[in-house]
Amino acid sequence: MLENSIKSNNNIFESIKHIDDDGNEYWYARELMKALGYIKWDNFYKVIQSAKLAIMKSCNNPDERLPEVRKSFISGNGAVRYIIDYKLSRYACYLIAQEADSRKKVVALAKSYFAIQTRKMELIEENYKNMSEDEKRLQNRQLVKKKNTSLRKTAAKSGVKNFALFNNAGYKGLYDGRTADDIFKEKKLNYRNDILDYMCSGELIANLFRINQTEEALINKNVESEKEAVNTHFIVGKNVRDVIIKSGGTLPENYPTPVKSIKDIEKSNNKKLVP
């Protein structure tokens, strides 16, 4: 029962989590306010200010951790009005939970959730840095496989029947018009090879982001036709490409094709496990 209760409450914070174009997680202060059981913005605003002071004491810029944003809404008389909100990092949420009313049970859960998630990310990043390229490829390939399965189910619910057309749309957006077959030929693979098994870790990450963001877009936009789903996949792929270009990263087609396939790495690892 306790485990289920914790999972249920953790879902509160997961459900209001957002991800920007660079793959960074963030939360909106007004959404977090409701999740933490606050009714009045003025009261929660004081908590935010206390969190800002804590950030400043740690010699960090609070505007980087919780930048102010303005949201528009239509008032009762039809006029456009604006309200102040904040875009919160995971660390900012943790500090806000520390400054919030500790008498609220959900605040204690928030402290635990954001502390654990922050530490998890630190460990993941630390472990990932220490991995070999083969280990990174294996991990990213497994994630891509899992997310591709999930995307296929979501796409089917969105009306997709021609999955070759749907998948090619994503590749064409991300790879500047290249289809899966074009990528296959550029990598000089034979007919039994899977292009995803011949991608380095960086190229797999770009595709993982494309897959994840496409699924979210299909769900959030409530896509119900194959044509719209295909177009959505293309647009998301292109947007991911644009982000890579703007950030000065490596475009997916410019990564070298690994000599070993994922299957070769798996076979090698299995041999090491045999006593």
Instruction: Please indicate, yes or no, if residue 272 is contained in any of the structural domains.
Output: no
At 67, give phi and psi (nearest 5°).
Answer: -65, 145
Q: Give the residue ranges of DSSP H helices in the chain.
A: 2-15, 29-35, 41-57, 62-65, 90-99, 105-129, 133-157, 163-174, 180-186, 201-220, 226-247, 262-273
| Domain identity same for 116 and 159 | no
Encode pLDDT of 225-268 as tens digits: 999 999 999 999 999 999 889 888 899 999 999 999 999 888 88
pLDDT digits (tens, 9 = 90+) for 134-176: 888 988 899 899 999 999 999 999 999 999 999 999 999 999 9
**Strand, helix or coil at 78?**
coil
Q: Based on the fold, state whether residues 74 and 141 are members of the same structural domain.
A: no
Q: Quote the tokens at residue 29.
A: 């202060």
Distance CA 82, CA 98 (A): 28
196 and 263 in contact (C-beta within 8 Å)? no
Q: Mark which of 54, 86, 121 sits at the end of a domain.
A: 121
CA distance 216 to 249: 23
> By the 8 A CB rule, do 30 and 42 touch?
no
The residue that leads in pLDDT, 117 or 220, is 220
DSSP state of 71: E
Range of the domain at 75: 2-121
With 90 as the cut, is the pLDDT of residue 52 above it? Answer: no
The predicted model scores a pTM of: 0.59
Whether residue 183 sits in one domain with residue 231: yes
Report pLDDT for 181.
94
Q: CA 84 to CA 70: how far, in whole Å?
A: 5
Mean pLDDT on 24-51: 91
Residues 239, 169 share a domain: yes
